[in-house]
Amino acid sequence: MAQIKLLNKIASVGLNVFDKSKYEISTEFDDPQAIMVRSAAMHDMEFGKNLLAIARCGAGVNNIPVDECAKKGIVVFNTPGANANGVKELAIAALLLASRDVIGGVKWAGTLTEDVAKSVEKGKSQFAGCEIGGKTLGVIGLGAIGGLVANAAEALGMKVIGYDPYITVEGAWHLSRAVEKASSYDEIFEKSDYITLHVPATKETKNMINAGSISMMKEGVRIINLARADLVCASDLKEALADGHVASYVTDFPTEETINTPGIVTIPHLGASTGESEDNCAVMAAHELIDYIENGNIRNSVNFPAVSLPASDYHRTVILHMNVPNMISTVTTEFSSRGINIENMANRSKGDYACTIIDSAEEIDDASAEKILSVDGIIRLIKIK
């Protein structure tokens, strides 16, 4: 039986996806075949030789040593889109919190003790704000979440422009026709009354909101960041808040620099904290692990390419390797030399890494498997059946 180790509490609806006659689930395994995780830090963990895959029940994988896993042939999955609706709804709330000092008003109202109604009418003007209708929202990142936010904001009467240099065809199809395409980040910065960020934290996006980009923005711009804290240079943002160039900042990632700062609303990472999101992520992660362990298929991996073959009665071999010349010919030559006919094959690459799935009439023997593994650039070989 395959062992699935849990590093966090995972929604039972996801765990119930596993066939209990094939899988054991526990928090105690020392060397499992797979790990399911939400927020637990894994960078200092030692991985056993049996570990095939890690499934992150969520989109971000900052808590997982993705590169190290790739080098060891451990496929890391995430669940893009499973929590998108939950984050979209919080983004709409963030638009309103950026516009009107609801939180400050609620706190103030809680301090009133006498003649409350009269005091409210006298003091409410200090919390007045603006409406989002008719304003321009710039959406940076039009993936599963950004696309939903763009559509929802347009339905609420905002003019929406978006920019995503990596937008997929599927993502584009799901966008409202009213969402305008910007030509660059700079165009978003220059035209938007509100800016919302929906991109991963990478070398390219780290501190994308900084003194330089803020200087291109409209006076009184309002910024929303439900993606990652690293996207915004906190010191530059605070200076812009102090001089009024930025009217407000709402983030789902509080840090020491941003908490208790006038003009900043810090939400305690609640974007995907809904029962529905947790259920969706757990179910998707479970299906990803099952399809990989039982069929060798890779879907939604962050360190290996998406590649799959339909289930069949043939013997299946999965080979994870570097994306360099002659890998496929080396592997197929070994199959041929053993008189094993290859019935079907799929190969895909992603950056430095690749995966080849082979269906054959006979199972490759251990000696051939070892010979393939000895080739420079071959990372891992898995015999599915």
3-state secondary structure 25-46: EECCCCCCCEEEECCCCCCCCC
List the one residue out of 68, 55, 80, 12 whose CA is nearest residue 291.
55
Q: What is the DSSP letter of 168?
A: -
Q: How far is CA 332 from the centre of its chain?
A: 35
| Closest of 94, 34, 72, 28 to residue 250, by C-alpha | 94
Q: Which helix (H) or strand (E) holds 316?
A: strand 315-322
User: What residue type is 228 in one-letter code?
Assistant: R
Q: Which helix (H) or strand (E) holds 354?
A: strand 353-360
Q: Could you give the residue numbers annotated as active site? A: 228, 256, 269
- Going edge to edge, which strands form the sheet with 2-6? 23-26, 2-6, 34-37, 53-56, 75-77
